[in-house]
Homo-oligomer: A and B are copies of this chain.
Amino acid sequence: MKTVEIFCIGTELLSFNKTDTNSLWLAEKLESMGFCVIAKHIVKDDVNLLQRLIRQELHNTDIIITIGGLGPTQDDVTCQAVCQAINKELVFTENIWESIQQRFMQRKRSLPDITKVQAYIPEGSDYFLNKVGSAPGTWTSYQNNIIIMLPGPPLEMIPMCENDVLPKLEQLIEEPKPARLYYGTAGLPESLVEEKLFPFYQKFNELQVTLLASPGQVDIYILIINENASIRETLIQEVDKEIMLILKDYIYTRTEKSLEEVAGELLTRHKKTLAIAESCTGGLLGNRITNISGSSEYFERGIISYSNESKIELLNVPAFLINTYGAVSKEVALAMAEGIKINAHVDIGLAITGIAGPSGSTPEKPVGTVHLALAAEEDTLHQHHIFLGNRAQIKYASTQFALNMLRKYLIGIK
């Protein structure tokens, strides 16, 4: 696979409030075409730093793409840095200069003198005229490398890529293109997923497998590269079969959907309505459920029962349960789920009560103690967890396990 490194150039890109969207867009295009983006560098407008970095990285990658720093002002140093890195001269290119002049004439604008610098490109380069701005793109071969320079504004960079650069890059791709498999799992910590996958790693040790963990969720990405198309097809099927066998129902999506989206689809498919009662999560569960457009079809209401009074008044939780077992208990969680199910006239009631911290813990009930309950027609389910982390982490993990409990109920796993 051909490797690419992307350089985003501009001091302003390093300040805290700028997200560089150019490279996200470009990296996705390149990956889907079958290139491997191995690094991105965001570098200030410093010609020495930049030329050293480019010179070094020519040894590490096949293709270097720079974005930005092609303007006419003193802090635009990309072209100069590239020329220094590959020992090439800058040459004036009449065609580019004419195109820049035409753009200014069309707009009836006077042409600043400094603009002429943008018609200089590394000797022996191909170039792409800029239909939106002044700076051209360039394509320079150097030894075994290709160096591509692109303008920084997305409105110039993106059409230039789509029309000129990506089609030219396409010709470099060797068939067959790599395949990428994805599995989203819920309910297992990363270390346990890893342990379960150990035999898989041994069996398919040539594959690139990446795990990405977030609270209550582990995403698995598998990249399959194989010269022979039919072998690759067989391999994809074998890998898929093996992963599904190992992780079974822990896998809740193979298309990067969120747990709330999958749960929503299951509620819709099974024609079930839902209401929730949440205490320590304070509205986060409702917020996640209602992030899904169309959730009003199955989500009836939610109660954020922060006080004991609200649990008693709105969820029919008997006061003696709270007095006897405490508001954070299996008994109260079950009563909350049952209460919201009945009061909201829905098929499923889902409840969370817990201690999100940092205060509110007791020796028997440490911070992170959470009880989940689900009440449905013929079933009543309960889970007890002790989540680690800060307030936000505990809240999020609680909703993640509650949504997974709902999902598992809807697909018939207890």
Listed in ascending order, the chain A residues whose CB lies under 8 Å from chain B are 10-12, 14-17, 19, 24-25, 27-28, 31, 37-46, 49, 52-53, 56, 60, 71-75, 103, 106-109, 112, 114-115, 132, 153, 155, 159, 189-192, 194-195, 201, 208-214, 219, 221, 276, 278, 280-291, 293-296, 299-307, 309-310, 313-314, 343-345, 356-360, 366, 386, 388-393, 395
Contact = CB atoms under 8 A, between A and B. Distances in A.
A385 to B, nearest CB: 9
Contacts of A209: 75
A300 to B, nearest CB: 5
B14 A37 contact: yes
Contacts of A304: 276, 283, 286, 290, 301-304
Nearest to A280: B290
Contact of A390 (B43, B159, B286, B389): B159
A291 B393 CA distance: 11
Contact of A287 (B19, B71, B72, B282): B282
Contact of A112 (B11, B192, B219, B358): B192
Contact of A306 (B71, B210, B288, B300): B300
Given A60-B49, A114-B194, A307-B301, A108 B27 contact: no
A41 B288 CA distance: 33
Contacts of A37: 14-15, 44
Contacts of A283: 278, 282-290, 302, 304
B286 A291 contact: no
Contacts of A189: 109
Contacts of A276: 304
A194 B278 CA distance: 41
A390 B155 contact: yes
Given A38-B49, A302-B303, 13 more contacts: A16-B27, A17-B24, A73-B211, A75-B211, A107-B386, A153-B214, A282-B289, A282-B295, A286-B286, A290-B306, A296-B306, A301-B306, A303-B314
Contacts of A25: 16
Q: 6 tightest CB-CB pairs across the interface, nearest first?
A: A282-B290, A283-B286, A16-B28, A302-B304, A283-B283, A301-B310
A299 B304 CA distance: 10
7 contacts: A11-B221, A14-B37, A14-B40, A71-B213, A73-B194, A301-B306, A309-B345
A287 B293 contact: no
Contact of A14 (B39, B53, B290): B39
A76 to B, nearest CB: 10
B306 A221 contact: no
A300 B392 CA distance: 20
Contacts of A11: 208, 210, 221
A293 B357 contact: yes
Nearest to A13: B40
A352 to B, nearest CB: 12
